[in-house]
Amino acid sequence: MINQSKDRFTYKITKNPYSFYEEIRSIHPVYKGSFLKYPGWYVTGYQEASTILKDNRFQTRIPLPETTKKYEAIKHIQSQMMLFKNPPDHGRLRKLVSHQFTPARIEKCHPFIEKIAKDLWNTLKDKKKIDVVSDFAFSFASLVIAKIIGIPDEDKHMFRKWALNLIQSIDFTRSRRSIVEGNHTTLEMLSFFKDLIEKRRESPQDDLISDLLHQGKDRKLTEEELLATSVLLVIAGHETTVNLISNSLYCLLKKPKEYHKLIENPSLIELAIEECLRYESPTQMVARIASEDVELNDVQIRKGDHVYVLIGGANRDSKQFSNADVFDITRNPNPHLAFGSGIHFCLGSALARVEAQIAIKTILQYEGNIHLETEEVEWRELVGFRAMKEMHVHLK
Ligand code: HEM
């Protein structure tokens, strides 16, 4: 009998999610549990997870209680985000933004992303010890997304507080306090972006906000949708990328054989990042609600049931991946679900991939000699995301 308390669940997932996923998968790949506030189905089977993410009968919704009036700002803005919209609204919104994130568009960003990585690493490489999470990954991902969105240099420092507060308020472990803080942060961000939108309306620059403001008349986001999209990009596009970069370096440093393979053969970088995405997926869980009764792998999911898709579990399902618990940077094909699947498939996947590839290549180019301070790191108490508190490495 598995203990169903939320604290035990959070503890197990924070400590070692993969043995917990295995434990519930061995009972059923679509396991009925009540770990979180709303009881539901915990999906750790790859095939089942993939089917659910592609099936629009499983709908998305804002992850906040509907009954309270206390968190109006955050609730209202989340309800305008494509991540929490269902068809047909979702498609319209996504179409208006997606041209900014195509692989061809991202390809054009390579030179400035490389420059950001190189300049930042140059400021760190002579230190004896650094925290990869805050000193490198966080600054790097902030500078990149800020440049893309069009956030002026002097305002970039606000990212850290915004991102940390907001991620805490959307994780399934959220407390009332974190939602209240998330609400304050949202108000701060809204006022910041309202100002920025005004400035860009008057004098457009070469950035995403200007582009979205000045699309043709019939292709326009409302002001609220533009605000919501800006906030979404900070949450969705930043924290997860910080974690992908940090987790990738952690995986590589923990497995010296794979690390040296990559140093000897840098062209493996793309496959290596795919394996990091699979092995320590930055997003571990996404939620849906069944809009009608659905039968799936001999379980009856009822209309209104909550469904928790454990991406991190699906990506370690040995029915799909041979030697699923082995970190192998030459794994190919690697059809992981780290970016989700179906209509909500991550809009920023091309950008995230390029950022991680460039970040890791930059570090490996400059430092053949980099060591983890401790083999075991502390993970933040989140169940939807896989995020280290810090990761100290010695250089030279
Ligand atoms: C390693 C980095 C990233 C990971 C692991 C990741 C993961 C995901 C996942 C799993 C989803 C689907 C959520 C669901 O189905 O409920 C998603 C959606 C999304 N992601 Fe990412 N993401 C990353 C980076 C980014 C970046 C860099 C951006 C943009 C700058 C971004 C923007 C979005 C947006 C806008 C959505 C919503 C798409 C929609 O609803 O149609 N993400 N992401």
- Report all structural domains of the chain as residue ranges with CATH numbers, in order of start: 6-395 (1.10.630.10)
Question: Residue 367 has what pLDDT?
Answer: 63
Atom of ligand 1 nearest to the CA of 53: 15
Question: For the purposes of burial, counting CB atoms within 10 Å of the CB of 70, is it exposed (0-12), middle (13-18) or buried (19 or more)?
Answer: middle
Using CA atoms, how far apart are residues 13 and 99, in angstroms rounded to an integer? 36
Atom of ligand 1 nearest to the CA of 97: 35
Q: Rounded to 5, what percent of the chain is helix, strand, coil?
A: 55, 10, 35
Residue closest via CA to ligand 1's atom 20 equals: 346
- What is the rounded distance in angstroms from the CA atom of residue 20 to the CA atom of residue 23? 5
From 339, 343, 353, 358, give the residue whose CB has the most ligand 1 atoms within 8 Å, as the site to mutate.
339
Burial (CB count <10 Å: 0-12, 13-18, 19+), residue 74: buried
pLDDT at 159: 78
Residue 112 CB neighbour total at 10 angstroms: 13
Q: Which residues of the chain have pLDDT under 70?
A: 65-68, 216-218, 367-368
Q: How far apart are CA 175 and CA 279, in angstroms?
A: 28
pLDDT value at residue 66: 60
The reported pLDDT for the residue numbered 368 is 66
| Amino acid making up residue 384 | G
Mutate which of 78, 82, 345, 347 for ligand 1? The one with the most ligand atoms within 8 Å of its CB, which is 347
Q: Ligand 1 centroid vs 358 CA: distance in angstroms?
A: 19
Q: How far is the CA of 215 from the centre of ligand 1 (A)?
A: 23
For residue 68, the model assigns a pLDDT of 62
Token representation of residue 261 = 């393979």
Which residues line ligand 1 at a C-beta cut-off of 6 Å? 60, 82-83, 94, 145, 232-233, 236-237, 240-241, 244, 282-283, 286, 338-340, 344, 346-348, 351-352
Sorted by sequence, the CB contacts under 8 Å of residue 192 that are 6+ apart come out as 155, 158
Dmax (CA) for the chain in angstroms is 62
**Closest ligand 1 atom to the C-alpha of 60?**
16
The token pair at 87 is 């068809």
CA of 280 to the centre of ligand 1 (A): 16
Distance 221 CA to ligand 1 centre (A): 19
Q: Taking each helix axis from N to C terminus, what angle separates 139-149 and 110-124, rounded to the nearest 10 degrees?
A: 150
Pairing of strands 30-33, 40-43: antiparallel
Which atom belonging to ligand 1 lies closest to the Cα atom of 81?
40
Residue with CA closest to ligand 1 atom 22: 346
Taking alpha carbons only, the member of 14, 76, 18 closest to residue 44 is 18
Distance CA 279, CA 3 (A): 26
CA distance 303 to 202: 48
**pLDDT value at position 173?**
85
Pairwise CA distance, residues 77 & 361, whole Å:
37
Sheet with 370-372, strands from edge to edge, namely 129-131, 392-395, 370-372
Q: How far apart are CA 290 and CA 305, in angstroms?
A: 6
Residue nearest to atom 1 of ligand 1 (CA): 241
